[in-house]
């Protein structure tokens, strides 16, 4: 693959540059196997439709064709499970979970990683992704297979991390 330079100019980053060095959706870390692509996540409904609505130019146009988004406010009804499972970005910042190169958090990192960016923060983000498995075990422990109205908020939160909680 030929390297491609991406230049980002949105509300949170001006003239941020990174390189795509891997083919989209390929050559992931061996321990990182998300169930959902960023495009699929946007289509099924995550983050109340509010996530990265000013970033459309950075990502492939087909990601936005069927995306459930709301550029004006967070709308939990746009989430797959129609519940709010998000914490404000301020909470993420206070906990030290935000890397300056991905000021919107894990999903922004994942979108860029999926597209082919590799970054020094990859190992930390993949470790955080793996830690969400504790929520999957709670769903499995407390809900019968396929009963989607059980632990809807936790299921929505799991969707936010590219695990397909509709199959648990």
pLDDT for 68 beyond 90: yes
Convert the pLDDT of each residue in 77-111 to its tens digit. 999 999 999 888 888 899 988 999 999 999 999 99
Residue keyed to tokens 């999903």: 107
pLDDT for 48 beyond 80: yes
Confidence bin at 116 (pLDDT 50/70/90): very high
19 and 3 in contact (C-beta within 8 Å)?
Answer: yes
Q: Is the dihedral of CA 15, 16, 17, 21 positive or negative?
A: negative
Question: What angle is formed at CA 118 by the lines to CA 116 and CA 122, rounded to 5 degrees?
Answer: 125
pLDDT at 89: 83
pLDDT for 36 beyond 80: yes
CB-based burial label for 2 (10 Å; 0-12, 13-18, 19+): exposed
pLDDT for 1 beyond 80: no
pLDDT at 123: 98
Q: Which of 55, 71, 64 is nearest to 16 (CA)?
A: 55
63 and 42 in contact (C-beta within 8 Å)?
Answer: yes
From 31-40, 50-59, 124-133, the region with the lowest mean pLDDT:
50-59
Q: Domain residue spans in the chain?
A: 36-132
What CA–CA distance (Å, rounded) separates 30 from 35?
Answer: 14
pLDDT at 88: 83
């Amino acid at each position: 693959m030929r390297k491609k330079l991406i230049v980002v100019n949105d509300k949170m980053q001006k003239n941020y540059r990174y390189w795509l060095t891997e083919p989209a959706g390929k050559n992931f870390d061996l321990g990182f196997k998300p169930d959902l692509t960023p495009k699929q996540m946007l289509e099924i409904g995550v983050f109340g439709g509010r996530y990265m609505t000013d970033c459309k130019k950075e990502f492939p146009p087909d990601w936005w064709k069927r995306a459930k988004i709301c550029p004006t406010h967070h709308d939990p009804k746009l989430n797959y499970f129609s519940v709010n499972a998000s914490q404000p970005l301020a909470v993420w910042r206070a906990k030290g979970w935000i890397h300056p190169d991905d000021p919107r958090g894990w999903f922004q990192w994942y979108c860029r990683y999926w597209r082919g960016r590799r970054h020094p923060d990859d190992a930390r983000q993949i470790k955080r992704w793996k830690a969400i498995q504790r929520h999957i075990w709670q769903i499995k422990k407390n809900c019968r297979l396929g009963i989607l109205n059980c632990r809807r908020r936790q299921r929505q939160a799991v969707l936010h991390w590219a695990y397909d909680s509709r199959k648990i």
